[in-house]
Structure 1
Amino acid sequence: MGQLLKTPPEVLLRIAGYLPKQRDCLALSLVSRKLRGVGEKSLYANIVLRLKRDAATDNLVELFHHAIQANKVRHDWVRSLSVIALGRTFTSRERKLIHRIIRMLPRLLNFSFEYPAVDFVDGNPFNLRRCFSYSSPLASSLRTFTWLHAEILDESAFMTFLRYHTNIKYLAFDEDAFDVPQMDSQVLPNLESLRAPIDAVLRMLPKRRVQRIKTVINRNTPPYWNTMREKHFESIRVFSPTIHRNDDAVALGLLESLIRRMVNLEFLDVQDETVITPSTLKNTDIKFLRLRNLRNEFLIEWFFDELPSLQCIEIQFNGKPPMKRVSERFYGDGRRSRTILWECKPNEEWLHDWRDVVIV
């Protein structure tokens, strides 16, 4: 313990960053006065407000609001805020508090919101209008914004929120749950990663440099995408699609047509059992291919023979507990296949570097 207390604060903070749960950070803050600051900074860095089903016994939002209001230093510590309320709707008090909380966090980088479907009487979960002082607005710190499950009932307020947070680089909606509002090119000009329904993705590509896309393809996609120029697809490096129905020939045709337009595509992660052939990838710069239905060694060699730029094929399968999902990799340079695990969360592989974020 004596040696630990002599460790520089920045090193202690880095060590604390590896603690898996918030209660571990809390325990660290209670060890000694020296470690209190380190533990608290780690505790407040990533906040998850997961509401209980019974609003009458749930005071989590109230407690967090009180905690950061009591000590203004904590305002700068919060980098990530997740609000999850899948079992019930917000009380009016909780809405007001969440709105206040967002305004109190000047260094918030990541905001994630999950909410059940709401009716028109209930309205938006909270006020998404600009959370800054009109007299002296501060530059937005937000870089990632996730909005899941909830309908957007007030598009004007929603778009006002997005227009202010111009530095957002990652935007995520449900991929097939609801309509994403129209966004002109002046909204989110720095967007790089997008998770959304395919029609919303196609609407947002022009005049933006979107590099990473996760989406669901379905037969109801409007036909206007056929008039899009080739340059609208040039920025795409990573593509992670799912076919709404595996037997939907129309959706499969759309998927193949889109991939052929992605001349700079390097990473393709097919999320379902959809069959992809080398001819679909001929016009791309594919380096990494992730599939779930390719088991035949002969077919794997066929891909490497037909696609000179391809470096790695990864086949995902279900492993034995506790390894729920594992993958086997095959390489074009003749290296033997290897079983690996991604260090990121499931379904977030498209946001990471396939060369580095793995455990062999």
Structure 2
Amino acid sequence: MARLLKTPPEVLLRIAEYLPKQRDCLALSLVSRNLRGVGEQCLYSDVVLRLKRDAATDNQVESFYHAIAANKDRRDWVRSLSVIVLGRNFTLRERKLISRIMRMLPRLVNFTFEYPFADAFNGNPFNLRPHLNHAMPPASSLRRFTWLNAEILDATSFRSFLAYHCNITHLAFNEDRFVVPKIGRNLLPNLESLQAPINTILRMLPRRRIQRIRTTINLRTQPGWQTMKYRELRNIRVLSYAVYGGAKALELFESLVRQMVNLEFVEVQDESAIRPSTLRNTKVRFLRVRNVREEFLVKSFFDRLPSLECIDIQSINLPGRVSQRFQRDCGPPRTITWGCRPNEEWLHDWRDGVTEL
């Protein structure tokens, strides 16, 4: 313990970053007075408020608000804030506190909001206008904004929110079933990655250099975009997608991919929605196939796609997020796992973001 306490604070903080859960950071902060600052800084850097079903007994938002109100250092430490509420609606008190909390975090980089779908029908859309305040610093620190249930957003205040947070590079919604408010071409000029329904993505491509997209194609997708020629599609380097609806939906999807001539990273949710001919006009280097139920023809893809370097197969028979990785001409596959959060593989480098088991 004596040697540990003599370790420089920046080294201790780096070690604390490897703690897997918030409660571990809390435990570290309670070990001693010397370790309190390190543990708290790690604890507050990535905050997840997972609200309980019973609003009457849930005080997480209230407790977090009072914790950062009482200590300015804690506000400066917060880089990521996730608010997850499922099975119930927000109380009016919680809505007000969330608005205050966001105004109090000058270095917030990542904000994730997961809301119950049921509230989309109660006539009470979430108004983001209170999150804007003239007392805020002139440059917004927010870079990643995830809002799962777009239909509860008040469109006017949402666009005002995006106009203020103009440096957002990652924007995410549910990619299949929700209606996203229209976002003008003059908003979010620095956007690089986008998760949304395909029609929303195609509306937002013009005048932006979006390089990563995650979406869903189904029979409800309007076929009008099949004839669209967006030069911005040539900027796409990473594509994560799912196709539902059989051959017709797959045909719509392939008409889109044919225009992505610089595509390098492809992630597909089901092996039936990918074939070598789909990628023949691309520069694909990496293919990731999830939920594989039958034998996947790895050799066929390597033979027909000369630019392809690597294939990850995630079989339903493998535990958790474990995958098999096949390299071109490198013998038997390796067993690997990704080090990022679930469903965020498309945002990371396939060469550096995995661990071999």
Same fold, TM-score > 0.5, yes or no = yes
Question: Separation in 1 of the partners of 2:132 and 2:156?
Answer: 17
Residue in 2 that maps onto 1:231: 231
The structural deviation recorded for 1:318 is 3.1
Which position in structure 1 is the counterpart of 2:125? 124
3-state DSSP class of the match of 2:151? coil
Report the CA distance between 1:166 and its aligned residue: 1.0
Question: Partner of 2:82 in structure 1?
Answer: 82
Q: Which residue of 2 aligns with 1:351?
A: 347
1:94-148 Cα distance to aligned partner (Å, 9 max, x none): 11111100000010011000111315655134x3116344267521101111111
SS of residue paired to 1:239? strand
Mapped pair 1:289 → 2:287? yes
Q: Secondary structure at the match of 1:13?
A: helix
Residues 165-218 of structure 1 deviation map (CA, whole Å, 9 limit, x = unaligned): 111111111111211111122111111111111111111111111111111101
Structure 1 match to 2:39: 39
3-state secondary structure, aligned to 2:287: strand
Which one is further off, 36-45 or 310-319?
310-319
Distance 1:136 1:197, change over 3 A: closer
Distance in 2 (alpha carbons) for counterparts of 1:121 and 1:275: 37
Instruction: Provide the C-alpha distance between the structure 2 equivalents of 1:139 and 1:276, rounded to a whole number of angstroms.
Output: 43
Counterpart position of 1:187: 187
* C-alpha deviation, 1:230, in angstroms: 4.5
Matches within 5 A, 1:25-174: 25-117=25-117, 118-119=119-120, 121=122, 123-125=124-126, 127-129=127-129, 131-134=131-134, 137-149=137-149, 151-174=151-174
How many Å apart are 1:273 and its aligned residue? 3.1
Offset of residue 41 of structure 1: 0.6
Separation in 1, partners of 2:273, 2:178: 27
Alpha-carbon distance between aligned partners in 2 of 1:136 and 1:279, rounded to the nearest angstrom: 51
Match of 2:83, SS state, is: strand
Distance 1:130 1:209, change over 3 A: farther
Q: Distance in 2 between matches of 1:359 and 1:135?
A: 44
Q: Which moved more, 1:116-125 or 1:259-268?
A: 116-125
Q: What are the within-5 Å matches in structure 2 for residues 254-265 of structure 1? A: 254-265=252-263
Does structure 2 retain, via aligned residues, the 8 Å contact 1:294–1:315? Answer: no
Identity %: 63
Taking structure 1 as reference, are residues 192 and 185 closer, same or farther at Cα in structure 2, changes over 3 Å only?
Answer: same
The one-letter code matched in structure 2 to 1:341 is: T
Retained in 2: the 8 A contact 1:130–1:164? no
Q: CA deviation at 1:32?
A: 1.4
Distance in structure 1 (CA, Å) of the matches to 2:56 and 2:16: 34
Moved more, 325-334 or 47-56: 325-334
Equivalent position SS for 1:112: strand
SS at match of 1:316: strand
Aligned residues: 354
Distance verdict in 2 for CA 1:180–1:133, change over 3 Å: closer
1:296-333 superposed Cα distances (whole Å, 9 cap, x missing partner): 58x4222222211111122211346xx32322222223
Could you give the per-residue CA deviations for residues 20-58 of structure 1, whole angstroms, max 9, x where no partner exists? 111111111111111111111111111111111111111
Q: Distance in 2 between matches of 1:66 and 1:136?
A: 19
Moved over 6 A (4+): none
Q: Identify unmatched segments of 5+ residues in structure 1.
A: none
TM-score normalised to the size of structure 2?
0.93
- Secondary structure of 1:345's aligned partner: coil
Q: 1:303 aligns to what?
A: 301
Instruction: Give me the whole-angstrom Cα distance separating, in 1, the residues matched to 2:295 and 2:270.
Output: 17
**Contact persistence 2:242–2:273 (CA under 8 A):** no
Contact between 1:80 and 1:108, CA under 8 Å: does it hold in 2?
Answer: yes
User: In the TM superposition, what are the counterparts of 1:318-333 in structure 2 within 5 Å?
Assistant: 318-319=316-317, 323-333=319-329
**Amino acid corresponding to residue 316 of structure 1 in structure 2:** Q
Distance 1:191 1:253 in 2: 28
Question: Counterpart of 2:277 in 1: which secondary structure?
Answer: helix
Q: Give the 3-state SS of the residue equivalent to 1:335 in structure 2.
A: coil
- The alignment's TM-score, normalised by the length of structure 1, stands at 0.92
Q: Partners of 1:99 and 1:239 in 2: how far apart?
A: 33
1:41-83 Cα offsets, whole Å, 9 max, x none, are 1111111111111111111111111111111221101111111
* Partners of 1:124 and 1:153 within 8 A in 2: yes
Give the direction of change, closer, same or farther, for the CA distance of 1:22–1:92 in structure 2 (3 Å limit): same
The answer on whether the counterparts of 2:321 and 2:338 sit within 8 Å (CA) in structure 1 is: no
More displaced 10-residue stretch of structure 1: 332-341 or 77-86: 332-341
CA separation in 2, counterparts of 1:135 and 1:106?
Answer: 11
